[in-house]
Chain A
C-alpha cells in the first residue's frame, strides 16, 4: 500500500539527492582534474607584445556578447540562446524555492524575484528552448552537426524547467507527483552535467580564460 508519487518524493529528497550530488562531484572533479593535470605544451615563444595588454578576464566577459556581424547571420540561435540562459539562471538562482535549497547548502540566501516574474522568466526559458530545438531540427547545418549528446543535453535542461512550471501551476498531475518528477529531473541534470556537453557551464570560463591568455601572448585581439 503506497502512493508512488509520495514515495518518489521521499526518494528524490533523500537518497536520490545524495546520489546525484555524489555523481556530480565525482564527475566534475574527474573532468576538471583531467583538464588541469594534463596541462598544455609550454609555449617557448616570447609573448608579443612584450608588455601584456589587458587580462584574460576581459575575454571571459567580452564573450558574453555576440561577435559583431554574427547576430544577423544566426538570429534564431542568438535570441533563443540568450533568452534561455537568462530565464534559466533567473529561475535557478532567484526563485524562492531554489533559494531555500541554496540556503540549506551554503548557509545563506539572497532576495528572491517576485513569484510572477520568476514564473514569466521560466516560461521564457521553456519557449526559448523549444524554439532552439525547432531551429536545430529544421536548419540543415545544425541538424547535420547535432549528435545524440546534443539532444540529451537539451532534454536534461528542458525537463526540470517544464516540470517545475507544471508543479508550480498544479498542471496535469498532483503537486506531490509533479514536484517529485521535477526534483528527479533536476537530479538527472545535476548527475549527468559533468559527462555531457552541459559541463560547459564550468569549462566555458576555463576555455575563455585560456583563449584570452593565448591571444594576449600572440598580440591578437580575442
Chain B
C-alpha cells in the first residue's frame, strides 16, 4: 500500500477519535484536514499530521483581546467555513477570553483571563484585535489597553495580531490619530508575532494560522511585516483574474461603462491590487463565492499599512496623494522673484561695464602690442 493508503488509515483513525470527541462526522473531518493542509501549503503527507493534531493534540488556550476596533475581525471569523467558527472555537482551540463571544462579564471575565495566564503560562496564544491607544483611552476593567496587552503578552507563547488595526494601527491610527493609536508590534518586545492584516482579515487565514500552530507547534513562515507568506506573498494583482486586461491595457473608465461590463481591469478606478498583498483573489470570501474585484469594485489595499491615509480609494495608483497647489504656487513665485533679482544684478554689471567702456584708440593698440 502506498503513501496515500497509509494517509487514509491515519485519517480514518484520527477521524474516529475526532468523531468520538466532538460528535462531528469523519467525512467533515477529512475535508477539514485536507483544506487546512492545502492552505498551509503542506504536501499531501501533511494531511495526516493535521489530522493527528486536530484529533489528539490538547487544545491551546487562547486569550482574544479587543481594543480600538469595530469587531469586524471577529465577525469575519464567525463566517469561516473551513473550519467553521464552531469547530475552531469548540474543538481546535480553547477560547478562554473573548469579550464579544464569552458569556462571562465583569470581574468573572477578568478572572478567567488571569487564570488562563497563570495556568497556561508560556503556552497560551494571545490574539489581539484593534489598535492600542495611548493612555487614558480604552480602559477595560480599570486597566488601559497598553497595560492589558503587555500583561497578557508577557507569558504568551505567541501573539497574533488580527486585522489591520492590530497589525498596523488601521483606522484608529489614521491622520490625525487623535488617540495616538499604535499597532501591536512595538509593544510586545521580542515576543513571536504573526500579523493577519485586512479590514477585515480573511477568516480562512486566521483559522489556518491557528491550525498551523496546532499542527506543527510553530508559527508559519512570515514576511517582513510578520504576515504569513502562504497568504501574503503574492499581490492581489498577481492572482487577479482581470490581470490579462491590465496587461493588454484594457481598463474600465467608470463603474458602468462598457469596459466595466466586460470585466476589464479596474486600475483607472483606483484599484490598489498591484501593491496589496493578500489572498482575496485566491481564497475569496463567503465560502469562495467572490471578492471585491469580482464584484466590480477595485481593491482598497486594506491589508497594507496606512491604507486609510493612502489617498482616495478611487484615485489611480499613478496619481499623487495630497494637495500640491499652494506649495507649487509659492515655490514658483519665489523662483520668479529670485530669477528677476538675478537678472537685475546681471544688468547692473552690464550697465556698469558699458558706462566704463572707452573707445579703443590706435595708441592703445600700439601700447598693448
Contact = CB atoms under 8 A, between A and B. Distances in A.
B321 A10 contact: yes
B115 interface: no
Contacts of A36: 343
A163 to B, nearest CB: 13
Interface string A1-17: 11100110110011101
Contacts of B306: 10
B332 A17 contact: no
A211 to B, nearest CB: 21
B249 interface: yes
Nearest to B344: A37
19 contacts: A1-B183, A1-B195, A2-B305, A6-B305, A13-B321, A18-B320, A22-B324, A22-B331, A26-B331, A29-B331, A30-B335, A30-B338, A31-B335, A33-B335, A33-B339, A34-B340, A39-B347, A101-B320, A112-B249
A21 interface: yes
A32 B320 contact: no
A138 to B, nearest CB: 37
Interface of A: 1-3, 6-7, 9-10, 13-15, 17-18, 21-23, 25-39, 96-98, 100-101, 104, 112, 114-116, 118, 174-176, 179
Nearest to B251: A96
A205 to B, nearest CB: 18
Contacts of A38: 343, 346-347
B185 A25 contact: no
Given A17-B324, A29-B335, A112-B249, 12 more contacts: A14-B311, A14-B320, A17-B320, A18-B328, A21-B324, A30-B339, A38-B346, A100-B316, A101-B319, A115-B249, A175-B235, A176-B235
A157 B216 CA distance: 52
B304 A27 contact: no
Contacts of B195: 1
Contacts, number: 145
A6 B275 contact: yes
Nearest to A100: B316
B340 A37 contact: yes
A17 B336 CA distance: 21
Interface residues of B, number: 53
B267 to A, nearest CB: 8
A176 to B, nearest CB: 4
A37 to B, nearest CB: 3
B335 A27 contact: yes
Given A6-B304, A37-B340, A176-B235, A25 B331 contact: yes
Contacts of B363: none
B94 interface: no
Given A14-B322, A37-B343, A1 B334 contact: no
B257 interface: no
Contacts of A100: 268, 316, 318-319
A31 B342 CA distance: 10
B225 interface: yes
B154 to A, nearest CB: 19
A33 B223 CA distance: 51
Contacts of A1: 183, 185-186, 195, 224-226
A15 B322 contact: yes
B317 interface: yes
A9 B310 CA distance: 10
Nearest to B322: A14
Contacts of A174: 235
B340 A115 contact: no
A69 B343 CA distance: 39
Contact of A175 (B247, B248, B274, B305): B274
B275 A104 contact: no
Nearest to B223: A3
Interface in B233-282: 235, 237, 247-249, 251, 267-268, 274-275
